């Protein structure tokens, strides 16, 4: 079938050769890295954050991921190293005055420059479109181009004036080798922080134990110096009920310690616990106080006041 009606087929239509490998447009790939979130693949909008590996995200996408890590999301492997919101830093970006926004080409009848970026370097003026390398400071979050930091060498931030070190610089959207280097530095930093935290906790524990021991020794020394009461004698007097007449050791330390010992050994004014002594027999209580209880004569009823038939669950109707 076919080849009729005067058609002349060509060789590539009859002979199928190997498929050509589709090449990715580098400009489009760079634009996607600098214009879209690495997690949600949505367009970047403030507030924008960056991780320790230099990837750029929308802050709301990171918060949603941290709130529900069990949800299935595309590109979730790029944020596997983020444990909390402290592992990302909000970027202090400089707006590009030449950026007209996305609504200027709604009709599609004008040229759209793919290399025009929303942000620029505040020192040199280079655009963040992927053609130039950019870094951010972990201390303040300010973003600069590598050229600006190389030409104007300083240990103070060009934008906010905060001091920084070379270890605080993180490459944004770096190459594969640069990402591996940043990952090693991140692992070393986290390991140091973990060991320092364990050392601090153990040191705090030993200091607490030491302060507790010193406090106990101070209390024991103060008790020995003021003449403390004999515990065995206190126990024997409290068990025998001789708290009011008990003595405090063999020596008489002074009026202050003797008063404390007498307070400790003093018996209660009321009846002894466990005794069945009636309140009505107490002579030191007033008649008004005694009338508050049901054992008083005023609370007792006569035979006329008592009912003939009392039941708990009556069944009469």
Neighbours of 55 (CB within 10 A): 23
* Cis-peptide, bond into residue 36, ω within 30° of zero: no
Position 237 scores a pLDDT of 45
Burial 248-273 (b: 16+ CB within 10 A, else e): beeeebeeebbebbbeebeeeeeeee
Backbone angles phi, psi at 160, to 5 degrees: -110, -15
Q: Which residues pair with 4 in a beta bridge?
A: none
Position 106 scores a pLDDT of 59
pLDDT tens, residue order, the chain (317 aa): 555 667 788 887 888 878 777 777 777 777 788 889 999 989 999 999 999 999 999 999 999 999 988 878 888 888 999 999 999 999 999 998 888 776 665 565 666 666 778 899 999 889 888 888 999 999 999 999 999 988 888 889 988 888 998 889 999 998 889 999 999 999 999 999 888 888 777 777 777 777 777 776 766 666 666 554 444 444 444 444 444 444 444 444 444 444 444 444 444 444 444 556 788 888 888 888 888 888 877 777 666 666 666 555 655 54
Phi-psi region of 56 (alpha: psi -120 to 50; beta: other; left: phi over 0): beta
Q: How far is CA 275 from CA 47, 53, 111, 237, in A?
A: 77, 79, 104, 18
Record the tokens describing residue 128, joined without a space: 């963040």
The candidate with the shortest Cα–Cα distance to 169, out of 128, 190, 139, 127, is: 139
Record the tokens describing residue 88, joined without a space: 């990302």
Position 259 scores a pLDDT of 47
Q: How far is CA 11 from CA 2, 22, 155, in A?
A: 15, 22, 66
CA distance 209 to 213: 6
């Amino acid at each position: 079938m076919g080849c009729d009606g005067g058609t002349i087929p060509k060789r590539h239509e009859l002979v199928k050769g190997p498929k050509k490998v589709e090449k990715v447009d580098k400009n489009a790939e760079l634009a996607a890295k600098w214009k879209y979130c690495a997690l949600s693949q949505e367009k970047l909008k403030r507030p924008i954050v960056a991780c320790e590996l230099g990837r750029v995200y929308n802050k709301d996408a990171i918060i949603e991921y941290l709130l529900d890590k069990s949800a299935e999301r595309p590109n979730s492997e790029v944020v596997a190293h983020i444990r909390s919101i402290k592992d990302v830093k909000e970027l202090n970006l400089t707006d590009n005055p030449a950026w007209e926004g996305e609504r200027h080409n709604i009709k599609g009848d004008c040229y759209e420059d793919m290399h025009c970026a929303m942000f620029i370097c505040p020192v040199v003026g280079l655009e963040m479109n992927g053609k130039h390398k950019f870094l951010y400071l972990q201390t303040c979050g300010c973003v600069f181009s590598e050229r600006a930091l190389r030409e104007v060498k300083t240990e103070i931030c060009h934008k906010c004036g905060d001091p920084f070190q070379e270890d605080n610089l993180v490459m944004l959207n770096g190459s594969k080798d640069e990402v591996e280097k940043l990952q090693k530095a991140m692992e070393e930093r986290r390991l140091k922080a973990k060991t320092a935290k364990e050392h601090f906790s153990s040191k705090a524990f030993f200091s607490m134990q030491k302060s507790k021991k010193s406090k106990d020794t101070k209390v024991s020394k103060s008790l020995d110096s003021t003449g403390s009461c004999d515990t065995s004698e206190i126990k024997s007097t409290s068990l025998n009920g001789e708290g009011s007449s008990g003595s405090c050791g063999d020596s008489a330390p002074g009026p202050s310690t003797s008063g404390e010992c007498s307070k400790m050994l003093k018996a209660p004014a009321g009846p002894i616990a466990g005794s069945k002594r009636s309140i009505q027999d107490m002579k030191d209580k007033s008649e008004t106080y005694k009338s508050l209880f049901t054992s008083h004569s005023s609370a007792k009823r006569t035979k006329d006041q008592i009912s003939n038939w009392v039941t708990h669950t009556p069944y009469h109707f």
